[in-house]
């Protein structure tokens, strides 16, 4: 069983994204589109994934991320691998 709850995983994802792209943490929530909210392109999004992988110690295959653009789904995919 993962030691975190789903809400905790999401919260950590948002913390890391806010820090990496220097946006106020309070502006981010699970339903946000991270491309729009962080103003990043797909290359920058890959950098974010790499950072999240290192933090959580999981692997997130690129192909599994096709079509994923909101923090909530991203956090779900991470949580499922914890």
Return residues touching another protein (CB under 8 A): 21-24, 27, 35-41, 43, 46-47, 49-50, 59, 61-64, 66-67
Nearer to another protein, 8 or 64 (CB): 64
Rounded to an integer, what distance in angstroms lies between the CA atom of residue 58 and that of residue 81?
7
Query: Mapping DSSP to helix (H, G, I), strand (E, B) and coil, where does residue 9 land?
Result: helix
**Residue (5 or 25) nearer to another protein, CB:** 25
- Closer Cβ to another protein, 30 or 40, answer by number: 40
């Amino acid at each position: 069983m993962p030691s975190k709850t789903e809400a905790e995983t999401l919260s950590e994802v948002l913390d890391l994204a806010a820090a990496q792209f220097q946006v106020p943490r309070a502006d981010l929530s699970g339903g946000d589109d991270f491309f729009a909210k962080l103003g990043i392109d797909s290359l920058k999004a890959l950098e974010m994934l790499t950072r999240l992988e290192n933090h959580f110690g999981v692997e997130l295959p690129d192909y599994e991320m096709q079509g994923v653009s909101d923090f909530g789904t991203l956090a779900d995919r991470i949580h499922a691998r914890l």
